[in-house]
Amino acid sequence: MENLLKDFELSPKDRSIETLAKWRSAVSLVKNPRRRFRWVADLAKRKNAQEKCRKLQGKIRAIIYAEKAALQFMEAIAPAEYKVSEKTRKAGFGFEPDDIASFVRSHDYKNYKKIGEVEGIIEKLSVSVDDGVSQDSVDTRQEIYGVNRYTEKPSKSFLMFVWEALHDLTLIILMVCALVSICIGLPTEGWPKGLYDGLGIILSIFLVVIVTAVSDYQQSLQFRDLDKEKKKIFVQVTRDSKRQKVSIYDLVVGDIVHLSTGDQVPADGIYISGYSLVIDESSLTGESDPVNIDEKRPFLLSGTKVQDGQGKMIVTTVGMRTEWGKLMETLSEGGEDETPLQVKLNGVATVIGKIGLTFSVLTFVVLTIRFVVEKAIRGELAIWSSNDALKLLDYFAIAVTIIVVAIPEGLPLAVTLSLAFAMKKLMNDKALVRHLSACETMGSATCICTDKTGTLTTNHMVVNKIWICGKSLEIKGNESVDKLKTQISEEVLSILLRAIFQNTSSEVVKDKDGKMSILGTPTESALLEFGMLSGGDFDAQRSVYKILKVEPFNSVRKKMSVLVGLPDGGVQAFCKGASEIVLKLCNKVIDPNGTVVDLSDEQARNVSDIINGFASEALRTLCLAVKDVNETQGEASIPEDGYTLVAIVGIKDPVRPGVKEAVQSCLAAGISVRMVTGDNINTAKAIAKECGILTEGGIAIEGPQFRDLSPEQMKSIIPRIQVMARSLPLDKHTLVTRLRNMFGEVVAVTGDGTNDAPALHESDIGLAMGIAGTEVAKENADVIIMDDNFTTIVNVARWGRAIYINIQKFVQFQLTVNIVALIINFVSACITGSAPLTAVQLLWVNLIMDTLGALALATEPPNDGLMQRPPVGRTTSFITKPMWRNIFGQSLYQLIVLAVLTFDGKRLLRINGSDATMVVNTLIFNSFVFCQVFNEINSREIEKINIFRGMFESWIFFSVILSTVVFQVVIVEFLGTFASTVPLSWQFWVLSVVIGAISMPIAAILKCIPVERRDTATPHDGYEALPSGPELA
């Protein structure tokens, strides 16, 4: 089978349009292209969308270049006059929406200056920088300037799914056959008997269409919920004098938005103030060069990313008036890429479909030849009646129905169903899957490279220890702080509080009730909490001192520095960050007397020991430093050395509950866990040991040391690396690349910062943090871990494995039905001249094995056994030898039983009378259906004998089995007129159930037959090897 599927191989990431087109051209015999390819990317639309996108980007580039040229000739051009309508004037605004959108989009700096720059815009939009938009004016602003939403494709209604299900070519042919049957049947057999055959087919088609449409509609609802969740982005704004988080969809023109590194600019706007604000406009312009935003270049465009720095902007344009809005409308065309498993199963469906078509044609030919030969023998070859036409029509309907059963349309769609179900469950479990293929790939993950802070730890940080003036003190509430105040001078405390409150990107805000809260990262929040506990006042500090320059923290610098103007005209620089890095910038220290003294080599070693002591207690350490700067406030620059060490702070971040068990679960499942962190190596080792990541024989290495390794050294050391500390994003990217290329690992990597984007993109599965993660990281990730919890990552791996195993179960079940239905109808047609299973019966069987089978088997939740097996290899055969063993074994049993009933059923069961043939055929149909019901239960386990484990916990599986049995009873006992069945005695019902139930012990016996495995140590689905002999019981 694998040799036949060579054209259906697809990599999980980075596929070209040529690769996607290749497998499509290999697909043939598709009954319903609309349904089969619904969840597959539309390459024609995508190509058009990309062309539109390129044109839009070219247009935006032209505007920006024109702006640069226009700046040189600005004085020669008369500024535009902006007229305001009565409606806008009455609302209190001085700009029409299209006017302000136009001049911001075109970077019209001349009119910007004429208006009065940002102050003029703020005035015309009736807003205050400090107070922000009033909540009362939000509705008015939305009415005048529009809402911040983009045009999206309307979702399909249920009737659209019914319409698409009716596009199945085989069902259309059967409908035509049914109508012809009615047209011929009414004149020959009269009313109402002439209706029955045709009406039976039409009713069966109606049932198939409705069940199919309901299943597909449910999937679409799940994907719609997922899509809504993907688009949830929140930004910080000032409203009603308070800083708060709002959804980007609730933004209005006039909102004051706070931007920081990694944010997406949520609307077009004008820069108000900030520090070192660098914007990546490549998503809009296609140009990779970052843009520095300041007073001279104040225009910010929606959809661009903050690469560095921080700032405030006023929103001027929202929704479809922005270029990003038009771009998003374009990009929504084309759909999402298909997954490797979907493609592979399209290949399986194509191969089986060709076999089915051959059997179908042969069946029709054999039946027709037999019929013609029999007429010739009777001497009636020249005499043809309407009954003969009905007979041939019936043969044709059976042949078409064999194609319906033979082409397993449900195989690729079962993957979509399984993915939709898994993604809905994962969303409830705090994991948002952005790309479908990530769910599959996660089941094959062999390595997880995880961050420490917030993922393995709780991210609820508190200052636990502080070293200051040569003294180390444990902080436990107010008493400890009071003790600290008695041990250091007021002057030192004042410097400490300035170092905390001035050098921070966080803010202390009051809510509606006047309660104080901190907006910012957990590390910053812990420091500010400690500062306030020590008697500091954030607002008072910020009002007295003026911040001149800021160098924000990022994962490369690992420090944050600010330049502060003092009330007396002096300037001070404050620096905080990774202890070892900041310590190297210091040449002085505050001694126990509160005096600034030179930092000797011996003292520096002592301070290093203090840092390592804090770190070995699993504390995150930060150095706070200060320097007096001699330059005037206007010319000052942030110094790079000569600082005075003020304090070393140890911040406690406890390990999350359940992380150790989750790590053990990964190791048992053959998934190695590596911690990659920017923290101190001793802190990292302490946390890694507590989590069970760092084990005996494992290596903990620092980023700089890793960077200096040669490729040969990396090859020998990487398999043993369990912790990488003080790492840069580049180190993480290098590690991921080496693991994938050198060792063929399937790597999942976590990331939260802007600089993590390359590693997230390079990995097989990028996992972004939902709480701590930036929008840039989330955009480059495949899965967003909404609670930032490592346990959730392991849950994604469990579901990934469950999807793969569930699809294998469904394939095993469906192939068994295919083989039996094809062979029994073909052989019977050849020998007896009639098919035991009619068109209506085959349509019901198709429904059982296709839509209902997929619902039952493809949606089973993961069990604990899944995490006790090795990951599925990249090149592992999808249909394994144990599966073939089960398929052929069950098929052989069913064929023998049905063949005996077909050819000798009347004699064996002593069935006599005029309706003996109908009774036997009904018994064959009933036994066949019950064989499938019990085989569906058998398929729950491919290798394990206990097939009932967890069956009653899966309500979908149980409901499908129950509804199948109930409907089978209704068909046989009450719908015989349409389904060509007769009511059976209770003895025959028992016989049908027993024939089906015998497949269970047969399945158990089959599983004891050893089959050759590529990896004899572990079965294909990872369960422990089957016991033999006395242990089997």
Q: Tell me what pLDDT residue 4 has.
A: 66
3-state secondary structure of 520: coil
Secondary structure letter of residue 1008 according to DSSP: T
Q: Tell me what pLDDT residue 1031 has.
A: 36
39 vs 876, which has greater pLDDT? 876
Secondary structure letter of residue 1027 according to DSSP: P
Contact between 652 and 474 under an 8 Å Cβ cutoff? The reply is no
Residue 647 pLDDT grade (very low, low, confident, very high; cuts 50, 70, 90): very high
Contact between 582 and 625 under an 8 Å Cβ cutoff? The reply is yes
The mean pLDDT of 720-738, rounded to a whole number, is 91
Secondary structure letter of residue 249 according to DSSP: G
pLDDT at 1023 over 80: no
Cα–Cα distance measured from residue 249 to residue 792, given in angstroms and rounded to the nearest whole number? 28
Q: Tell me what pLDDT residue 1013 has.
A: 53
1017 vs 261, which has greater pLDDT? 261
| Nearest CA among 314, 351, 174 for reference residue 237 | 314
285 vs 997, which has greater pLDDT? 997
Residue 1015 pLDDT grade (very low, low, confident, very high; cuts 50, 70, 90): very low
Residues in the chain: 1033
pLDDT at 241 over 60: yes
Cα–Cα distance measured from residue 881 to residue 510, given in angstroms and rounded to the nearest whole number? 65
Cα–Cα distance measured from residue 93 to residue 692, given in angstroms and rounded to the nearest whole number? 61
Q: pLDDT tens, 591-610? A: 888 889 999 999 999 999 99
Q: What tokens were used for 725?
A: 């500390």
pLDDT at 673 over 90: yes
Specify the pairing of strand 559-565 against strand 571-578.
antiparallel
pLDDT at 130 over 50: yes
Q: pLDDT tens, 6-22? A: 667 777 666 677 777 77
| Nearest CA among 585, 646, 649 for reference residue 611 | 649
Q: Tell me what pLDDT residue 1016 has.
A: 38
Cα–Cα distance measured from residue 669 to residue 445, given in angstroms and rounded to the nearest whole number? 10
Catalytic residues: 451
Contact between 150 and 325 under an 8 Å Cβ cutoff? The reply is yes
Q: What tokens were used for 691?
A: 């989590």
How far is residue 345 CA from its own chain's centroid? Answer: 21
DSSP H/E element including 548:
strand 546-551
